Amino acid sequence: MAPNSVLMALVAFVAVFGLGAGTADAATNYPCGTGWPGVCGAIGDHYYQPGIGVSLGCPTTWEYTPPGQSPNRAQDFQAGLIWWNPTAGTYATWGDIAWKWRNQCGGINGVLGPPDSDEYWAGNVRRSIFWNGYIDWNPNNRQMVATDWFGRTNVC
């Protein structure tokens, strides 16, 4: 078998079966080479779901326990964070929503608390839910609104 044929067969195998705990999306779109912190466990499983790792970019920290948040775990990435709770599960926040959540809302220990969903479409806005509210991001004008569960807007 020619070297190019072997490579194509390997790429086809990875596309169908993935690499380890990862999926074909992670295997073919993972932008990180050597020198980056590893991604493993429940956080790694979530990272390797289609679309998540690509949205977050490369890890910038190893997995850690956020201050005052034991037994919860988190890992930072170029464009966001994955947070894990043994009861609530594993969720990612990224992009402009992650920036607002960290820098204006106080992050994990802030007014909205930890993530409670991945980002998703809610009508014409992107939304991430947190323990104490949610952030909506309008892709047309990049405006963001943080709302708590009492309906108060611009809480951070």
- Tell me the pLDDT tens digit for each residue of 31-46: 687 788 989 899 999 9
pLDDT, position 36: 86
For the chain, the helix, strand and coil percentages under 3-state DSSP, each to the nearest 5: 30, 25, 45
Percent of the chain whose pLDDT exceeds 70: 80
What's the whole-model pTM score?
0.75
Residue 86, phi then psi, degrees to nearest 5: -60, -25
* Residues 82-92: tens digit of each pLDDT: 999 999 999 99
* Residues 107-139: tens digit of each pLDDT: 989 999 999 999 999 999 999 999 999 999 999
Contacts 24+ apart (CB under 8 A), 68-74: 68/109, 69/108, 69/109, 69/114, 72/108, 72/114, 73/41, 73/42, 73/43, 74/43, 74/108
